[in-house]
Amino acid sequence: CIVLISVVGFFWTTEMNSDDEDALNEVEVNGNWTPQEKALHEARLKAKAKRRLRKSSSRNSTSESFSESGDVPGGDPHSPKGKVNTNDRKSRAGKGRGLPKKGGAGGKGVWGAAGMVYEDEEPDARDPNYDESSQGDTVYATVVPEVDEKELEKMVNPIVQEYFEHGDTKEVEMLLKELNLGPHKYEFSSLAVSLSLEGKASHRELTSRLLSDLSGKLMSQSDMARAFDKMLKELPDLILDTPEAPQMLGQFIARAIADHVLPMSFLDCYKGKVDCEYARVALDRAAVLLTMKREMVRLDNVWGVGGGLRPVKHLVKEMNLLLKEYLVSGDVSEAERCLRDLEVPHFHHELVYEAVVMVLESKGDTASHMMIKLLQSFWKTGLITVDQMNRGFQRVYDELPEISLDVPHAHSIMETFVDLCYQESVITKQLRDACPSSENATGKLPETG
């Protein structure tokens, strides 16, 4: 038995490889197997040998077929499993020398052909690898669209109207810088002047100051000249709403020249070249003002001093002149216009006081009747309020003892004048009853329950 096993082991050693020797050793170790276990083990060895033989034969046939036909080895070429090394950039058509496609310049993620020079590309913000911090300093610019000529008036009017309320030229300058007026920026000056012509004297004074402050910053002298030239051409339309537009525009031109907003040669450019009658009136007015004030650096008083900025003595003088001119002309509407131009509604009691004193100091009844007519007109139009009327009469009541030193019959004249004012509904019954008589000149208003 031992001799038989040795002979079989020698035969298997010469015919099999090392793996078979390991299997044979197992047989020798496990010699006590049952017949069934031994048959199963032999079947496994045979199957293993067949697989090894099939693999070696397949390798040899594949290499031979590839060398002859050049096809890709392994299975059906149309089957996904049959495609081998699909990422290979070499030609799989069996043509060429097996070099990369396009000389290495094709496809995504390749370096390109040898000797190719690439230009600098701008970074794309949509690129996933885009790094904003690595791009250096980023400059953000705000682009403001240019204001259309049709929208210019809608945008400028609120700015000018608000300026008439606060009078801050720096705020207007800041707002204009935020707008892109473009070639239409000169029209801001003409629009501001047009709005001030429809307003008060204080508005025209503010407009002259605004033009002076904007000159050299946002507007040049040529822009201002262009704006006033447009205004001169539009005078036939402006007088429809403002009959005094030619005279006012002439004052604007004179003030602008004195403030160096317009060039000194502005008027010389129009000599003998103006056909419009209204434009000639405006230019003549400007020439006269410049001749009268040629030694003054600025025509500061061309519009007067606005409202409450005037000293009290100046306001008293203005109201005295207003009343004296009225006594001469008898024009109530002109007196009303002059009082409105003063723009001091809180100081109208001074007009009432001066009017009553003039009646006490006058001779005859003419002044009395004219003053009643004037005060009655102011009362009906609401130009003088109840409070201002009461304060004016009360001041005269308080000063009657002193006035009587110069006017002996002041008390009797005052009583007669107060009765007439009450009959014409100029004053209230309470104010009439407060008038001091010659016996009791206290001048105090009676208490009301």
pLDDT by residue (tens digit) across 354-389?
A: 999 999 998 888 899 999 999 999 988 888 989 899
The CATH number covering residue 399 comes to: 1.25.40.180
Distances (CA, A) of 212 to 155, 178, 215, 310: 21, 20, 5, 22
Q: Is residue 287 part of a domain?
A: yes
Residues 168 and 283 in one domain: yes
Residues 284 and 162 in one domain: yes
Residues 216 and 284 in one domain: yes
How many domains are contained in the chain?
Answer: 3
Residues 400 and 365 in one domain: yes
Q: What torsion do the CA atoms of 372, 377, 381, 385 make, to the nearest 10 degrees?
A: -20
Q: Is 97 helix (H, G, I), strand (E, B) or coil?
A: coil
pLDDT of residue 253: 93
Residues 231 and 339 in one domain: no
pLDDT of residue 154: 87
pLDDT of residue 446: 41
Domain that holds residue 281: 149-292
Residues 355 and 253 in one domain: no
pLDDT of residue 389: 92
* Residues 332 and 373 sit within 8 Å (Cβ to Cβ): yes
Q: Is residue 192 part of a domain?
A: yes
Q: Is residue 71 part of a domain?
A: no
294: its two tokens: 């040629």
Q: Is residue 85 part of a domain?
A: no
Residues 327 and 269 in one domain: no
Q: Is residue 52 part of a domain?
A: no
Name the stretches of the chain with pLDDT < 70: 1-32, 57-110, 112, 118, 131-141, 293-301, 304-310, 438-449
Count of CA atoms in the C-beta half-sphere (13 A) of 299: 25
pTM for the model stands at 0.46
Q: Is residue 140 part of a domain?
A: no
Among residues 342, 301, 300, 304, the alpha carbon closest in space to that of 320 is found at: 342
Instruction: State how far the Cα of 68 lies from the Cα of 60, in Å rounded to an integer.
Output: 13
Residues 168 and 269 in one domain: yes
Q: Is residue 127 part of a domain?
A: no
Residues 416 and 335 in one domain: yes
Q: Is residue 347 part of a domain?
A: yes
Residues 252 and 338 in one domain: no
Residues 155 and 178 in one domain: yes
Residues 278 and 339 in one domain: no
